[in-house]
Amino acid sequence: MTTNPWTEASNLREYKVCLLGDGGVGKSSLTVRFIQNHFLEDYDPTIEDWYRKQCVVDDEIALLDILDTAGQEDYIAMRGQYMRSSEGFLLVYSITSRQSFEQIIPLYQELLRVKGVVSCPVILVGNKCDLDHGRQVTAREARSCAERMGCMFIETSAKTHVRVDDAFYELVREIRAHNQMGSRTRQFSAAMAGLQTPNRAAEFAPVYERAHSAHCLSGCVVT
């Protein structure tokens, strides 16, 4: 029997996601394209806003709480707060700006430091792929950057609506995979602590090893 996810209220799960990246890379444009399906030619770069959108990802309802970050001095001061309060991140650069790309790894390192974790659900997003003639960052170097972070890489265009929804949906999948791995690891730790029977520990051991050897949760890189 097929179930209708929209009527399965108990499946409703909130995902707090945040777009991070240099000013002008298209964070607001990606958000507005995803939420309202239109393109912003000119958007106030100082506006920071929250958006909510309910969608179905792999037959499960996801309520996305999206924080579109902005600003300059304020943004630096607020960044730690954004990082702590969100569970998944689109790390956005523009394919036409090497400078915006160079900020990605330091941003990811800061994210891990602030959250005090060794990995975190992120997607590397190279926006403005419609401007290929002005490209400063190749897909190859972005892919290698994504491999370093153990995440997926997607090139998008908010302007021509290329893979924008995919970026958000893949982030939901990353968060789910991350949480699933976390709960498996917790069950394994509990088993190891003798809170469960020893054969339960044996059951979880392969998962634990996989989780620690596999750098990339999704195991794939998309261009």
Ligand X SMILES: Nc1nc2c(ncn2[C@@H]2O[C@H](COP(=O)(O)OP(=O)(O)O)[C@@H](O)[C@H]2O)c(=O)[nH]1
Q: Which residues bind to ligand X, rule: CB under 6 A?
A: 23-29, 40-43, 45, 127-128, 130-131, 157-159
For 22, how many CA atoms within 13 A lie in the half-sphere containing its CB?
18
**Which of 47, 21, 1 lies closest to 156 in space, CA to CA?**
21
Rounded to a whole number of angstroms, the minimum distance from the CB of residue 133 to ligand X is 11
- Give helix then strand counts, H and E, for the chain: 7, 6
For ligand X, which residue has the nearest CB? 26
Spatial separation of the C-alpha atoms in residues 186 and 208, rounded to whole Å = 10
Rounded to a whole number of angstroms, the minimum distance from the CB of residue 24 to ligand X is 4
Beta bridge partners of 90: 19, 123
- Which one, 23 or 206, has the nearer CB to ligand X? 23
Q: 48 is in the binding site of which of ligand X, Mg ion, none (Cβ under 5 to 8 A by kind)?
A: none
- Which one, 36 or 183, has the nearer CB to ligand X? 36
Spatial separation of the C-alpha atoms in residues 113 and 99, rounded to whole Å = 22
* Residues lying near Mg ion in the complex (CB under 5 A): 27-28, 70
Enter the tokens of residue 194: 């003798």
- Which one, 51 or 200, has the nearer CB to ligand X? 51
For 216, how many CA atoms within 13 A lie in the half-sphere containing its CB?
18
For Mg ion, which residue has the nearest CB? 28
- Which one, 94 or 187, has the nearer CB to ligand X? 94
- Which one, 38 or 186, has the nearer CB to ligand X? 38
Rounded to a whole number of angstroms, the minimum distance from the CB of residue 54 to ligand X is 23
Q: In the block, which residue shows the tokens 């909130």?
A: 14
Cα–Cα distances in Å, from 132 out to 22, 49, 65, 119, 155?
A: 19, 29, 31, 31, 11
First CA to last CA distance, the chain? 36
Rounded to a whole number of angstroms, the minimum distance from the CB of residue 85 to Mg ion is 18
- Which one, 138 or 179, has the nearer CB to ligand X? 138
Rounded to a whole number of angstroms, the minimum distance from the CB of residue 28 to Mg ion is 3
Rounded to a whole number of angstroms, the minimum distance from the CB of residue 22 to ligand X is 7
Q: 73 is in the binding site of which of Mg ion, ligand X, none (Cβ under 5 to 8 A by kind)?
A: none
